């Protein structure tokens, strides 16, 4: 039996109900959307310049970071900064770590994105008359493990970003070590050139006295004067290069050049050749590099991500199901559920699957190419080390011979068998031998640095840049 209605009263009820429903939807819509922190921070170039200019090695955050990595007794040592503490300062100040950490944060957020369930859609159904009102929803249901594979792919992408942080730390370590080695090399050259200039000034004074006595020709005094001028110019040039090398070191660390004036640089790590017994077996070195190098592990994680991306595309061959429950009121209550799915008639996702297969092959090829490059660099570095070590041994023998001869000449000078100019010339010869020895040492230390870069393992010290970068929190570093 049907119930009779007053038409006008019924229309008013429907309109009032519709307004209430619309108001309710508008009220809960912002709550359904949720509030997300945009993470926006103000960036001011003027403030960045001031912050960069104020960076010092006495920074409290830096000291806290060094204490966390090396222990409480190390950071309070005397004001001498060697490769270990400078590496930690680089990880603290340099913006490349900030970039890598930000990329890691983005990649980890991608895991949350991959795991999100698709939101249902909600529809207010309108009809041709005021007697009709209804609601509908659409719920997407994913099958065949698509969400699982998508999450695994995102996790591998996050692993790629994590290895990139470690690889960035090793690159910064390499840049800092190379810059400090350059300072050590120029400092040694400058010391020897200053000794050469002092000896040639003394020789010029002696030759000038001989010239005044008529015992030396104008050509001889002119030649000695020219050599003295060249030596003094070399001193000036090396002082310039020393300042440039210090500025390069400051740039590698991420501090202004004047910040280095407040500390004492410790280059003792380069004075003695480190023990390389564990790096004599080339095959073992290649194995260690493959297992430990961050860039190779990054490419391996990228390959795993490509494999998971392929599984995601394969799962898309099978359609998802959309369930659409609906309710409408048209004189009476009506409920209905409408399932729908995409019919794979014209394609079964062959194109995206083929692209994913190609990307997997590309990732594998990039990994093989990188491994070959690493193997080549290790072979070249070890060959360079052996060659420079052989040259160094020859230079040491030559320097020993010249030192013995210098001692003999000093005894002869004391006995009056030779004059002072001859003694000065012998001293200059000894400085030249020491210069050749220094250059051989520099080449050998550079070769050791190449081995360190090839293996991504510390040789000159025991600082693990990878572990140190993991201890560095984002809120500990200065901005910019």
Per-residue model confidence (pLDDT) at position 479: 47
Distances (CA, A) of 143 to 118, 286, 314, 427: 13, 44, 12, 85
Q: According to DSSP H, which parts of 34-59 are helical?
A: 45-53
Mean pLDDT confidence for 161-181: 95
Mean pLDDT confidence for 367-376: 95
Higher pLDDT: 78 or 345? It is 345
Higher pLDDT: 40 or 63? It is 63
Question: How many angstroms separate the CA atoms of 371 and 197, rounded?
Answer: 49
Distances (CA, A) of 406 to 189, 399, 400: 21, 10, 10
Question: How many angstroms separate the CA atoms of 156 and 12, rounded?
Answer: 59
- Residue 100's CB is within 10 A of a number of other CB atoms, namely 22
Mean pLDDT confidence for 375-403: 94
Per-residue model confidence (pLDDT) at position 126: 66
Per-residue model confidence (pLDDT) at position 129: 63
Question: How many angstroms separate the CA atoms of 75 and 308, rounded?
Answer: 45
Mean pLDDT confidence for 371-398: 94
Per-residue model confidence (pLDDT) at position 472: 58
Q: Which of 16-25, 126-135, 378-387 shows the lowest mean pLDDT across its residues?
A: 16-25
Per-residue model confidence (pLDDT) at position 331: 66
Closest CA to 460 of 289, 245, 273, 284: 273
In the chain, the domains with their CATH numbers are: 81-370 (1.20.1600.10)
Distance of CA 77 to the CA centre of its chain: 28
**Residue 3: pLDDT band by 50, 70, 90 thresholds?**
very low
Q: Global pTM?
A: 0.83
* Whether 120 contacts 139, CB under 8 Å: yes
Share of the chain above pLDDT 70, in %: 83
Per-residue model confidence (pLDDT) at position 384: 94
> C-alpha angle 406/221/425, rounded to 5°?
5
Strand intervals (E) in 44-114: 80-81
35 has a pLDDT exceeding 50? no
Question: How many angstroms separate the CA atoms of 108 and 101, rounded?
Answer: 10
Question: How many angstroms separate the CA atoms of 367 and 359, rounded?
Answer: 12
144 has a pLDDT exceeding 90? no
Highest-pLDDT range among 29-43, 313-327, 360-374, 407-421:
360-374
Mean pLDDT confidence for 271-276: 85
Mean pLDDT confidence for 124-148: 78
Higher pLDDT: 140 or 163? It is 163
Count Cα atoms within 13 angstroms, Cβ side, for 240.
Answer: 6
Question: How many angstroms separate the CA atoms of 96 and 102, rounded?
Answer: 10
**Residue 24: pLDDT band by 50, 70, 90 thresholds?**
very low
Per-residue model confidence (pLDDT) at position 153: 95
Strands 132-141 and 321-330: antiparallel
**Residue 257: pLDDT band by 50, 70, 90 thresholds?**
very high
Question: How many angstroms separate the CA atoms of 91 and 87, rounded?
Answer: 6
For 403-446, the pLDDT digits (tens) are 999 999 988 888 888 889 889 999 999 999 999 999 999 999 99
- Residue 156's CB is within 10 A of a number of other CB atoms, namely 21
Share of the chain above pLDDT 90, in %: 54
Mean pLDDT confidence for 59-80: 78
Strand intervals (E) in 127-209: 132-141
Q: Which of 244-258, 334-348, 377-391 shows the lowest mean pLDDT across its residues?
A: 334-348
User: Mean of the per-residue pLDDT values for the chain?
Assistant: 85
Q: According to DSSP H, which parts of 316-419 are helical?
A: 350-415
Closest CA to 378 of 475, 275, 452: 452
**Residue 128: pLDDT band by 50, 70, 90 thresholds?**
low
178 has a pLDDT exceeding 80? yes
Per-residue model confidence (pLDDT) at position 138: 87
Strands 80-81 and 264-265: parallel
> C-alpha angle 106/110/113, rounded to 5°?
135
Closest CA to 81 of 217, 268, 313, 231: 268
């Amino acid at each position: 039996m049907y119930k009779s209605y007053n038409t006008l009263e019924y229309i008013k009820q429907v309109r009032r109900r519709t307004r209430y429903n619309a108001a309710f939807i508008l009220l809960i819509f912002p709550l359904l959307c949720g509030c997300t922190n945009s993470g926006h921070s103000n960036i001011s170039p003027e403030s960045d310049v001031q912050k960069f200019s104020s960076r010092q090695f006495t920074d409290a955050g830096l000291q806290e970071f060094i204490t966390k990595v090396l222990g409480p007794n190390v950071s309070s040592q005397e004001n001498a900064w060697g490769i270990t503490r400078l590496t930690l300062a680089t990880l603290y100040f340099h913006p490349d770590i900030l970039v890598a950490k930000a990329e890691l944060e983005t990649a980890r957020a991608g895991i949350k994105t991959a795991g999100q369930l698709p939101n249902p859609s909600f529809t207010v159904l309108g009809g041709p008359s005021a007697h009709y009102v209804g609601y509908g929803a659409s719920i997407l249901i994913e099958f065949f493990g698509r969400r699982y594979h998508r999450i695994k792919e995102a996790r591998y992408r996050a692993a790629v970003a994590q290895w990139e942080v470690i690889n960035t730390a090793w690159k910064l370590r390499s840049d800092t070590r190379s810059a400090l080695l350059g300072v050590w090399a120029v400092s040694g050259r400058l010391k020897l050139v200053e000794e050469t200039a002092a000896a040639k000034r003394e020789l010029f004074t002696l030759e000038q006295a001989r010239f005044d006595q008529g015992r030396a020709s104008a050509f001889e005094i002119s030649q000695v004067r020219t050599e003295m001028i060249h030596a003094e110019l070399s001193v000036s040039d090396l002082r310039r290069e020393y300042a440039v090398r210090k500025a390069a070191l400051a740039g590698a660390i991420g501090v202004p050049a004047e910040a280095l004036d407040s500390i004492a640089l410790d280059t003792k790590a380069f004075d003695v050749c480190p023990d390389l017994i564990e790096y004599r077996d080339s095959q073992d070195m290649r194995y260690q590099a493959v297992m430990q190098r961050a860039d190779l592990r990054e490419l391996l994680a990228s390959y795993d991500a490509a494999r998971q991306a392929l599984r995601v595309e394969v799962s898309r061959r099978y359609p998802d199901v959309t369930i659409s429950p609906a309710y409408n009121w048209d004189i009476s209550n009506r409920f209905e559920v409408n399932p729908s799915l995409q019919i794979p008639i014209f394609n079964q996702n062959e194109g995206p699957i083929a692209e994913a297969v190609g990307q997997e092959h590309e990732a594998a090829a990039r990994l093989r190419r990188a491994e070959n490059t690493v193997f080549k660099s290790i072979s070249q570095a070890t060959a360079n080390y052996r060659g420079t070590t052989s040259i160094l041994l020859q230079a040491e023998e030559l320097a020993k011979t010249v030192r013995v001869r210098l001692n003999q000449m000093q005894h002869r000078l004391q006995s009056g068998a030779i004059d002072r100019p001859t003694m000065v010339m012998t001293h200059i010869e000894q400085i030249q031998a020491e210069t050749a020895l220094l250059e051989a040492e520099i080449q050998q230390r550079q070769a050791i640095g190449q081995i360190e870069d090839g293996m991504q393992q510390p040789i000159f010290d025991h600082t693990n840049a990878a572990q140190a970068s993991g201890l560095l929190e984002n809120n500990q570093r200065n901005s910019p």
